[in-house]
Amino acid sequence: MWFECLPSGAIILVAMAFPHFSAYVINKVAIGNMFRRDVTTSEQKLQYMRDIRLSGHAYKPKGLESIPDA
């Protein structure tokens, strides 16, 4: 019947979603932050500072609506 494919579909769904959600936990344990941000080059540091300036938070960047019109 049609419901016999539900267990295998659930296994595939969990197997594909696990790496995405486990990355947050691994980063929290390893770095102390849920998001991985690397600022080793000057360009990356400028982008990091830009996110802080525009949105007030480096790890929750906003889109074009946060840039004021000149």
Task: Please state, rounded to an integer, the average pLDDT across all residues of the chain.
Answer: 82
Alpha carbon distance 18, 5 (integer Å): 20
Alpha carbon distance 19, 26 (integer Å): 10
pLDDT for 14 equals 94
Per-residue pLDDT reduced to its tens digit, 54-65: 888 877 777 777
pTM above the 0.85 mark?
A: no
Most confident of 15-19, 34-38, 55-59, 65-69: 15-19
Report the percent of the chain where pLDDT is more than 70.
91
